[in-house]
Amino acid sequence: MRRLGLAFALLAALLGGAESARADMFRPSKDEQVQLGQRAAGELRKKEKVLPENDPHVVLLRRVAARILKQLPEADLKPWKFSFDVIDSKEVNAFALPGGPVFFYTGLLKKLGTEDQVAAVLSHEITHAIRQHWASAYADNQKRKLGLTALLMIFRADRAAFDVAGVADDLLFTLPYSRKHETEADMVGYDLMTAAGFNPQGMVDVFEILRKATSGGKPPEFLSTHPDDAARIRRIQDRIKKDSRTFQPQVPLPWEAEEIKPKAGK
Protein backbone atom coordinates (compact mmCIF):
# COMPACT_ATOMS: atom_id res chain seq x y z
CA MET A 1 0.00 0.00 0.00
CA ARG A 2 2.82 2.38 0.78
CA ARG A 3 4.32 1.77 -2.67
CA LEU A 4 0.97 2.39 -4.34
CA GLY A 5 0.66 5.65 -2.44
CA LEU A 6 4.13 6.66 -3.58
CA ALA A 7 3.22 5.86 -7.17
CA PHE A 8 0.15 8.08 -6.90
CA ALA A 9 2.22 10.92 -5.48
CA LEU A 10 4.87 10.59 -8.16
CA LEU A 11 2.40 10.54 -11.00
CA ALA A 12 0.43 13.47 -9.66
CA ALA A 13 3.69 15.36 -9.52
CA LEU A 14 4.54 14.37 -13.06
CA LEU A 15 1.41 16.13 -14.26
CA GLY A 16 2.16 19.43 -12.62
CA GLY A 17 4.00 22.71 -12.62
CA ALA A 18 5.81 24.22 -15.56
CA GLU A 19 6.17 20.79 -17.17
CA SER A 20 2.42 20.21 -17.53
CA ALA A 21 2.47 21.46 -21.12
CA ARG A 22 4.70 18.67 -22.42
CA ALA A 23 3.07 16.14 -24.75
CA ASP A 24 3.40 13.17 -22.38
CA MET A 25 2.98 14.48 -18.87
CA PHE A 26 4.19 11.22 -17.37
CA ARG A 27 7.69 11.60 -18.83
CA PRO A 28 10.41 13.28 -16.78
CA SER A 29 11.82 16.27 -18.65
CA LYS A 30 15.36 16.22 -20.03
CA ASP A 31 16.64 18.23 -17.07
CA GLU A 32 14.88 15.87 -14.66
CA GLN A 33 16.40 12.87 -16.40
CA VAL A 34 19.84 14.43 -15.99
CA GLN A 35 19.20 15.01 -12.28
CA LEU A 36 18.06 11.42 -11.80
CA GLY A 37 21.05 10.02 -13.67
CA GLN A 38 23.56 12.16 -11.81
CA ARG A 39 22.07 11.12 -8.47
CA ALA A 40 22.18 7.43 -9.31
CA ALA A 41 25.68 7.66 -10.79
CA GLY A 42 26.94 9.36 -7.64
CA GLU A 43 25.52 6.59 -5.47
CA LEU A 44 27.03 3.92 -7.71
CA ARG A 45 30.47 5.48 -7.49
CA LYS A 46 30.20 5.34 -3.69
CA LYS A 47 28.96 1.76 -3.48
CA GLU A 48 30.83 0.03 -6.29
CA LYS A 49 34.51 -0.43 -6.99
CA VAL A 50 34.90 2.09 -9.82
CA LEU A 51 38.26 2.00 -11.54
CA PRO A 52 40.41 5.17 -11.48
CA GLU A 53 40.63 7.46 -14.49
CA ASN A 54 44.15 6.30 -15.39
CA ASP A 55 43.20 2.63 -15.52
CA PRO A 56 43.71 1.26 -19.08
CA HIS A 57 40.11 0.02 -19.25
CA VAL A 58 38.76 3.47 -18.42
CA VAL A 59 41.17 5.26 -20.76
CA LEU A 60 40.17 3.05 -23.68
CA LEU A 61 36.45 3.25 -22.93
CA ARG A 62 36.50 7.05 -22.83
CA ARG A 63 38.60 7.31 -25.98
CA VAL A 64 36.15 5.15 -27.92
CA ALA A 65 33.20 7.05 -26.44
CA ALA A 66 34.71 10.39 -27.47
CA ARG A 67 34.88 9.25 -31.10
CA ILE A 68 31.22 8.27 -31.01
CA LEU A 69 30.00 11.45 -29.30
CA LYS A 70 31.72 13.53 -31.98
CA GLN A 71 29.22 12.12 -34.48
CA LEU A 72 26.26 13.64 -32.64
CA PRO A 73 24.93 17.09 -33.58
CA GLU A 74 25.33 19.69 -30.86
CA ALA A 75 21.57 19.71 -30.34
CA ASP A 76 21.62 16.00 -29.47
CA LEU A 77 24.30 16.53 -26.83
CA LYS A 78 22.29 19.09 -24.85
CA PRO A 79 21.45 18.97 -21.99
CA TRP A 80 22.87 15.48 -21.48
CA LYS A 81 25.83 14.96 -19.15
CA PHE A 82 27.69 11.96 -20.51
CA SER A 83 30.24 10.17 -18.37
CA PHE A 84 31.88 6.77 -18.81
CA ASP A 85 33.01 4.62 -15.90
CA VAL A 86 34.17 1.05 -15.39
CA ILE A 87 33.09 -1.05 -12.41
CA ASP A 88 35.49 -3.78 -11.33
CA SER A 89 33.16 -6.76 -11.30
CA LYS A 90 32.84 -10.16 -12.97
CA GLU A 91 29.32 -9.27 -14.08
CA VAL A 92 28.99 -9.24 -17.87
CA ASN A 93 27.02 -6.05 -18.39
CA ALA A 94 26.89 -2.38 -19.33
CA PHE A 95 24.09 0.15 -18.98
CA ALA A 96 23.18 3.80 -19.39
CA LEU A 97 21.43 5.84 -16.71
CA PRO A 98 18.96 8.61 -17.58
CA GLY A 99 20.68 11.72 -18.83
CA GLY A 100 24.02 10.25 -19.89
CA PRO A 101 26.07 8.30 -17.30
CA VAL A 102 27.27 5.00 -18.80
CA PHE A 103 28.79 2.16 -16.78
CA PHE A 104 30.73 -0.85 -18.06
CA TYR A 105 31.76 -3.85 -16.00
CA THR A 106 35.22 -5.34 -16.36
CA GLY A 107 33.45 -8.69 -16.76
CA LEU A 108 32.10 -7.47 -20.08
CA LEU A 109 35.28 -5.75 -21.22
CA LYS A 110 37.20 -8.98 -20.67
CA LYS A 111 34.79 -10.81 -22.94
CA LEU A 112 35.26 -8.32 -25.77
CA GLY A 113 38.16 -8.59 -28.17
CA THR A 114 38.18 -5.35 -30.18
CA GLU A 115 37.59 -1.63 -29.92
CA ASP A 116 34.82 -2.06 -32.47
CA GLN A 117 32.95 -4.38 -30.12
CA VAL A 118 33.31 -1.85 -27.32
CA ALA A 119 32.02 0.84 -29.70
CA ALA A 120 28.98 -1.30 -30.50
CA VAL A 121 27.94 -1.49 -26.85
CA LEU A 122 28.70 2.18 -26.24
CA SER A 123 26.71 3.31 -29.29
CA HIS A 124 23.77 1.21 -28.16
CA GLU A 125 23.81 2.68 -24.65
CA ILE A 126 24.36 6.25 -25.84
CA THR A 127 21.30 5.84 -28.07
CA HIS A 128 19.20 4.81 -25.07
CA ALA A 129 20.19 8.10 -23.42
CA ILE A 130 19.71 10.51 -26.32
CA ARG A 131 16.41 8.91 -27.39
CA GLN A 132 15.16 9.08 -23.78
CA HIS A 133 14.19 5.43 -23.62
CA TRP A 134 14.24 5.29 -19.82
CA ALA A 135 11.83 8.23 -19.60
CA SER A 136 9.44 6.48 -21.98
CA ALA A 137 9.70 3.22 -20.04
CA TYR A 138 9.08 5.06 -16.78
CA ALA A 139 6.00 6.82 -18.14
CA ASP A 140 4.57 3.59 -19.56
CA ASN A 141 5.23 1.76 -16.30
CA GLN A 142 3.45 4.37 -14.20
CA LYS A 143 0.44 4.48 -16.53
CA ARG A 144 0.04 0.73 -16.29
CA LYS A 145 0.24 0.83 -12.50
CA LEU A 146 -2.46 3.44 -12.14
CA GLY A 147 -5.19 2.58 -14.60
CA LEU A 148 -7.95 4.77 -15.96
CA THR A 149 -9.71 5.59 -12.68
CA ALA A 150 -6.53 6.79 -11.06
CA LEU A 151 -5.66 8.83 -14.13
CA LEU A 152 -8.96 10.66 -13.94
CA MET A 153 -8.35 11.40 -10.28
CA ILE A 154 -4.90 12.79 -11.04
CA PHE A 155 -6.13 15.04 -13.83
CA ARG A 156 -8.45 16.68 -11.29
CA ALA A 157 -5.83 16.94 -8.58
CA ASP A 158 -3.80 19.98 -7.62
CA ARG A 159 -0.68 20.31 -9.75
CA ALA A 160 2.83 20.10 -8.29
CA ALA A 161 6.36 19.97 -9.71
CA PHE A 162 7.91 16.61 -10.61
CA ASP A 163 9.70 15.22 -7.58
CA VAL A 164 13.07 13.92 -8.71
CA ALA A 165 13.95 12.87 -5.17
CA GLY A 166 10.82 10.74 -4.98
CA VAL A 167 11.76 8.38 -7.79
CA ALA A 168 12.87 5.09 -6.28
CA ASP A 169 16.47 4.18 -7.08
CA ASP A 170 15.54 0.68 -8.20
CA LEU A 171 13.44 2.14 -11.03
CA LEU A 172 16.57 3.72 -12.45
CA PHE A 173 18.16 0.29 -12.88
CA THR A 174 15.34 -2.22 -13.34
CA LEU A 175 12.89 -0.74 -15.84
CA PRO A 176 13.07 -2.87 -19.00
CA TYR A 177 13.23 -1.25 -22.40
CA SER A 178 10.67 -2.22 -25.02
CA ARG A 179 11.57 -4.18 -28.13
CA LYS A 180 11.02 -0.97 -30.08
CA HIS A 181 13.58 0.82 -27.91
CA GLU A 182 16.13 -1.98 -28.26
CA THR A 183 15.70 -2.08 -32.02
CA GLU A 184 16.17 1.68 -32.21
CA ALA A 185 19.28 1.43 -30.04
CA ASP A 186 20.66 -1.21 -32.42
CA MET A 187 19.90 0.75 -35.58
CA VAL A 188 20.96 4.20 -34.37
CA GLY A 189 23.93 2.58 -32.63
CA TYR A 190 24.96 1.09 -35.97
CA ASP A 191 24.84 4.55 -37.55
CA LEU A 192 26.88 6.10 -34.74
CA MET A 193 29.62 3.50 -34.62
CA THR A 194 30.07 3.34 -38.40
CA ALA A 195 30.07 7.14 -38.69
CA ALA A 196 32.90 7.10 -36.14
CA GLY A 197 34.83 4.66 -38.33
CA PHE A 198 34.24 1.43 -36.42
CA ASN A 199 33.56 -1.89 -38.11
CA PRO A 200 29.88 -2.92 -37.65
CA GLN A 201 30.87 -6.58 -37.55
CA GLY A 202 31.77 -5.71 -33.98
CA MET A 203 28.07 -5.37 -33.17
CA VAL A 204 27.33 -8.84 -34.53
CA ASP A 205 30.23 -10.19 -32.49
CA VAL A 206 28.85 -8.61 -29.31
CA PHE A 207 25.51 -10.36 -29.67
CA GLU A 208 27.26 -13.68 -30.15
CA ILE A 209 29.62 -13.09 -27.22
CA LEU A 210 26.85 -12.09 -24.83
CA ARG A 211 24.58 -14.92 -25.88
CA LYS A 212 27.32 -17.43 -25.07
CA ALA A 213 28.41 -15.66 -21.88
CA THR A 214 24.90 -15.51 -20.39
CA SER A 215 23.51 -18.84 -21.56
CA GLY A 216 21.16 -20.06 -18.84
CA GLY A 217 21.66 -16.94 -16.72
CA LYS A 218 20.31 -13.41 -16.46
CA PRO A 219 20.99 -11.51 -19.70
CA PRO A 220 22.74 -8.13 -19.60
CA GLU A 221 20.82 -4.95 -20.41
CA PHE A 222 22.03 -5.20 -24.00
CA LEU A 223 19.94 -8.38 -24.43
CA SER A 224 17.33 -7.83 -21.73
CA THR A 225 14.17 -7.61 -23.83
CA HIS A 226 15.11 -9.72 -26.82
CA PRO A 227 14.82 -13.47 -26.40
CA ASP A 228 15.48 -13.86 -30.14
CA ASP A 229 19.06 -12.68 -30.40
CA ALA A 230 19.34 -14.40 -33.79
CA ALA A 231 16.86 -11.92 -35.27
CA ARG A 232 18.97 -9.00 -34.08
CA ILE A 233 22.09 -10.57 -35.53
CA ARG A 234 20.38 -11.11 -38.89
CA ARG A 235 19.14 -7.52 -38.92
CA ILE A 236 22.64 -6.14 -38.41
CA GLN A 237 24.13 -8.57 -40.92
CA ASP A 238 21.58 -7.41 -43.49
CA ARG A 239 22.60 -3.82 -42.90
CA ILE A 240 26.25 -4.70 -43.33
CA LYS A 241 25.50 -6.42 -46.65
CA LYS A 242 23.62 -3.37 -47.91
CA ASP A 243 26.24 -0.91 -46.66
CA SER A 244 28.39 0.24 -49.58
CA ARG A 245 31.21 1.47 -47.36
CA THR A 246 34.43 -0.43 -46.77
CA PHE A 247 35.37 -0.79 -43.13
CA GLN A 248 38.81 -1.23 -41.66
CA PRO A 249 39.60 -4.49 -39.85
CA GLN A 250 38.65 -4.49 -36.20
CA VAL A 251 41.29 -3.18 -33.80
CA PRO A 252 42.22 -5.69 -31.06
CA LEU A 253 42.05 -4.51 -27.47
CA PRO A 254 45.38 -4.06 -25.67
CA TRP A 255 44.49 -6.80 -23.18
CA GLU A 256 43.82 -10.44 -23.96
CA ALA A 257 40.19 -11.21 -24.77
CA GLU A 258 38.58 -14.42 -23.55
CA GLU A 259 36.16 -15.15 -26.35
CA ILE A 260 36.52 -13.91 -29.89
CA LYS A 261 39.09 -13.03 -32.51
CA PRO A 262 38.68 -9.86 -34.60
CA LYS A 263 37.33 -10.31 -38.11
CA ALA A 264 38.52 -8.56 -41.24
CA GLY A 265 36.81 -5.50 -42.64
CA LYS A 266 34.26 -5.59 -45.41
Q: Which residues are catalytic?
A: 125
Give the three-state DSSP class for 241: helix
User: From the CA atom positions of the chain, what is the Rg in Å?
Assistant: 19
Q: Comparing C-alpha atoms, which of 167, 175, 185 is closest to residue 137?
A: 175
Burial of 183 (0-12, 13-18, 19+ CB in 10 A): middle
* DSSP assignment string, 172-217: HHHPPPPHHHHHHHHHHHHHHHHHTT--THHHHHHHHHHHHHTTTS
The answer to whether the CB of 253 falls within 8 A of the CB of 262 is: no
At 205, give phi and psi (nearest 5°). -60, -40
The answer to whether the CB of 193 falls within 8 A of the CB of 203 is: yes
Contact partners, residue 183, CB within 8 Å, separation at least 6: 232, 235
